[in-house]
Amino acid sequence: MDLGTAASWAEILGLFTILGAAIYSWFQIKELRRARDSTTAMSLASNFQSQDFVVGLTSILNMEFDPSKMTDDRTENFRILKEHFGDDWPKVMTVLTTWESIGVLIHRGDMDFHAFYDLFSGVIMKIYEAFSFYLEPIREDGNDKDMEWFIWLVDRVKEYENEGAGTPPAHLAFKEWKPKNRV
Q: What is the pLDDT of residues 80-119, one digit of tens each?
A: 889 999 999 999 999 998 899 889 989 988 888 888 888 8
Task: Give dist(CA 39, CA 52) in Å, integer.
Answer: 21
Q: How confident is the model at residue 182 (pLDDT cuts 50, 70, 90)?
A: confident
Task: Give dist(CA 33, CA 174) in Å, integer.
Answer: 25
Enumerate long-range contacts of 66-71, CB under 8 Å, 24 or more apart. 67/133, 70/133, 70/134
Task: Give dist(CA 179, CA 182) in Å, integer.
Answer: 9
Contact 149, 111 (CB under 8 A): no
CA angle 169, 115, 171 (to 5 degrees): 20
Would the pLDDT of 7 be above 90?
no
Would the pLDDT of 178 be above 70?
yes
Of the two residues 96 and 44, the one the predictor is more confident about is 96
Task: Give dist(CA 139, CA 133) in Å, integer.
Answer: 11
Contact 91, 59 (CB under 8 A): yes
Would the pLDDT of 48 be above 80?
no
| pLDDT at residue number 81 | 87
Lowest mean pLDDT among 54-58, 62-66, 79-83: 62-66
- The helix (H) or strand (E) run that includes residue 13 is helix 3-46
Lowest mean pLDDT among 30-34, 73-77, 88-92: 30-34
Question: Exposed, middle or buried by CB within 10 Å (0-12, 13-18, 19+), for 120?
Answer: buried
Average pLDDT along the chain: 85
Q: How confident is the model at residue 151 (pLDDT cuts 50, 70, 90)?
A: very high
Lowest mean pLDDT among 46-50, 140-144, 145-149, 151-155: 46-50
Q: How confident is the model at residue 132 (pLDDT cuts 50, 70, 90)?
A: confident
Enumerate long-range contacts of 163-166, CB under 8 Å, 24 or more apart. 166/117, 166/121
Q: Residues near 154 by Cβ (< 8 Å), separated by ≥ 6?
A: 124, 125, 128
- The helix (H) or strand (E) run that includes residue 6 is helix 3-46
